[in-house]
Amino acid sequence: MVATYKQVAASLRSSFPEIAQMLAEAEPDLTAFAAFPRGHWQKIWTGNPIERLNRETGRRTDVVQDSCPTATA
């Protein structure tokens, strides 16, 4: 994965040196997910982590609310 990243950055170096430099500087951040097991990558790749967090919080809240007994009058 990291080798492919470096290959893409190198291929841009002649045509787009500024972008290649930016990619080289950002490499640790952009490839950090590769340190995790492959099964976790899809969750890490999500486009909006805050949206995913809110969705997960809502899902867990729904489960808690559904399992609590309700008071009846």
Q: Is the pLDDT of residue 34 over 70?
A: yes
| pLDDT tier, 23 (very low <50, low <70, confident <90, very high otherwise) | confident
Return the DSSP state at 50. Answer: H
28's CB contacts (< 8 A; 6+ apart) are none
Give the global pTM. Answer: 0.51
Q: What percentage of the chain has pLDDT greater than the value 70?
A: 78
Distance (Å, whole) CA 66 – CA 45:
31
**69, 44 Cβ separation under 8 angstroms:** no
Distance (Å, whole) CA 62 – CA 40:
24
Q: Is the pLDDT of residue 68 over 80?
A: no
**30, 36 Cβ separation under 8 angstroms:** no
